[in-house]
Every structure is written in C-alpha cells, then in structure tokens.
Amino acid sequence: MHVGKSYKLTNFLYWTRRSIYVLLVVGVVPVLLYHLAGLKWLAIPWTVVAMLGTATAFIVGFKNSQTYSRTWNAGGIWTNIVNGSKAWAILSRDFLHDPDTTRVLYNRHFAWLTALRFQLREDRIWEVIDNMANTEYQQYYAIPERQTTMEAELAKYLPEEELSHVLGAYNKAAQILSLQGQHIKQLFDSQTIVLPQFMEMQKAVNNLYAQQGQCEAFKDTPYPRQYSIMNTILVRMFCFLLPFGLLHEFDKLNEAVTGVMKGYMVWLVIPFSVLISWLYTSLEQVGESTENPFEGSPNDVPISQISRAIEIEMRQMIGDEVLPAPLTPQYDILV
C-alpha cells in the first residue's frame, strides 16, 4: 500500500514505459504510410474511433471501480482480523491465571497470522506480481514472505511437535486454529475455564476462521475473466485504431496554418495518439495491479505490516518489553 502523498511521475512513467514504446510504434507507422507512402485510404472516420473510445472508457472505468472495491473490502477483512486478534488477546490473558498458558495461546495466534499471510502471498496464475513491469518495481520495496520461508517463521512460535504437524497439513493456517480449539477444549475439560469462558473463546476462534475464509475467497476468486478479456481487447483495439482516426483530422489542419508546420500537421498524430492511448493503457495497468489485494504489489493490503503491528500490540498487553520492530514504509510502500 502506498502511504505517501502520491506516486512520482517519473516512477509511474518508468512503470508504464513498455506500453509507451509500443504506442510510439503504433503511432508512427500509420503516419509514415499516410504521409510518405501516400496511402490516404488508411484514414478512418473519427466518429468510429470516438464511439469505440467511449465504450472503452466505460469498461475501463467499470473494471477500476470493481478492482478498487475488491481492495477496499479486503482491507476491511484485515481490519476485522485486527479487532478479532485484540479480542483473542484479552480473552487469553484475562480468562487464564497461568502466564505460560497465555503465552502459548498468544504464540499460536502469531503462528496463525504468519501462516495466513504466507498462504495469501502464494502465486496464482491470474496474478500479475511477476509481470516484468511489476518485478522491476520491486527494486523499491521487499516482500517479507519472499525473503524467508514459512517454516522458519513458524518455528519462532510453535514447538517442534506442533510445527511438524502444521507443516504437514494442506491448509496450515486452518490447522493452527484447529490446535487452538483443541487447547481450549482441554482447558475446559480440566476446569481451568468455565463454560461461559469456553464459549467466548470458541466464538473468538470461529470468528478468526470466518475471516480466514473471506481472505481465501478473495485470493482464489479472480476478477471475472470474461470482463477482464473484454477490457483488454477494447483497450488494445482503441489504441491501435486511434492514430488512423486522427490522420484526416490533423491533415485538415494544414488549411488553417502557415509557416514551417504547413503540410506537416499530420505528424502531430504521433504525440497526441500516444498521450491519449497511454491514459487508457495506464488505467488498465492500474486496475490490473489492484485486482488481487494480497499478491504483494505496492497497491495491496499491507498484511505483513498489519500482522507485525498485531504482534507488537498483543505482546504489550502481557508486558513484554522486547518487541519486534514494526515494518516501516520503503519508498512510501507498506506490504
């Protein structure tokens, strides 16, 4: 998540430069054929291009609205995880009179957060984090889940027996919550906690299950592919036809100008077509990088930072003085 005032224009141009190179070629070729080769029939009516541009603007706007909504809703889920974690921390601290047991429940919760964020960072075929432009942009920040392994991180919180059990599970985060539930049941069976306390703690675990399920639904359900392909087709078709639609319009300007530009106004098709097309392709690229809120892009929900903040707050609740360092923005980017 970008937490600065704004992206720098230079960074944005660097991120989209490959599209600019392609658009330059798309803009130059029609002008060369029209002006130098004399292929005047290449000019197409501007009305056709304008209608296509209007349709493209609608579908690009629709996609960006929907992808932003996905990111907003995903952020809301993690807000609920923060609140659920604080509730779990209070229950584990106040219902139990054994600090060691409380710490076990705390550490297992940290392990759950760790397993969940690693699972949400796993690759999906429709994600774009490893596209060339996005990979290059990662020089400005680091994704913590790509700097280490889940096993190494879980080993900080789980005993060896539990660690081995969790690593052998298909859904490691869910398995950790299962261990929490078993532990709560053992506490109730041993009469360490009474029935109302047991029910409250079990309710807290069930709530965490629900939040994890919502995260997994976002992770495993991409933006509808039928809308995605139509967005791509329309944007590329519009960018391809735009310079052909501008040829005749700029050529007519020769009748109204004098001086060195007379007879050469058609060359202005290149910068204007590139500029207009770049706006469309950039909006498409922004929407594409926003539609998967957990993959690790600069526009995603900062689940690593949130998990670290939760751990710090929970440790402070039980009086820990040695705390992990909070994750800070790298070039105004939190992940």
* pLDDT tens, residue by residue, 153-211: 999 999 999 999 999 999 999 999 999 999 999 999 999 999 999 999 999 999 999 99
Between CA 302 and CA 144 the distance in angstroms is: 11
In a domain, 31, yes or no: yes
The tokens for 316 are 């402070």
Q: Dihedrals φ, ψ of 330, to 5°?
A: -110, 115
- Angstrom distances, CA of residue 173 to CA of 92, 182, 204, 213: 19, 15, 15, 10
Please give the pLDDT value at position 122: 92
Helix locations, the chain, DSSP H:
9-15, 17-31, 46-94, 99-120, 132-137, 150-154, 160-167, 172-189, 195-220, 225-251, 269-290, 303-317
DSSP line for 243-276 = HHHHHHHHHGGGGG--GGGTT-GGGGHHHHHHHH
Distances, alpha carbon 40 to alpha carbons 28, 257, 258, in Å: 15, 20, 22
For 45, the token pair is 């009516």
Owning domain of residue 203 = 9-317
- Tell me the CB-side half-sphere exposure of residue 290, using CA atoms within 13 A: 20
Query: Which pLDDT does position 223 carry in this prediction?
Result: 86
Residue 2 falls inside a structural domain: no
In a domain, 331, yes or no: no
Condensed to tens digits (0 to 9), the pLDDT of residues 117-144 reads 999 999 999 988 888 888 888 888 888 8
Instruction: Tell me how far apart the alpha carbons of residues 9 and 40 are, in angstroms, rounded to a whole number.
Output: 37
Whether residue 333 lies inside any domain: the answer is no
pLDDT greater than 90 at residue 265: no
The Cα–Cα gap between 306 and 78 comes to: 8
Percent of the chain surpassing pLDDT 90: 64
CA gap 162, 215 in Å, rounded: 24
Tell me, what's the pLDDT at 289? Answer: 87
Give 100's contacts (C-beta < 8 A, 6+ positions apart): none
Nearest to 62 by CA among 228, 222, 225: 228
Is residue 330 situated within a structural domain? no
Residues 6+ apart with CB under 8 A from 216: 119
Q: Residue 235 — very low, low, confident or very high, per pLDDT cuts 50/70/90?
A: very high
Please tell me whether residue 299 adopts helix, strand or coil conformation. Answer: coil
Question: How much is the pLDDT for 93?
Answer: 94
- Reply yes or no on whether the pLDDT at 28 is more than 80: yes
Report the domain count for the chain. 1
In this structure, of 10-24, 49-63, 130-144, the range with the lowest mean pLDDT score is 130-144
**Three-class secondary structure of residue 333 per DSSP:** strand
Give a yes or no: residue 128 inside a domain: yes
Tell me the residue type at 249.
E
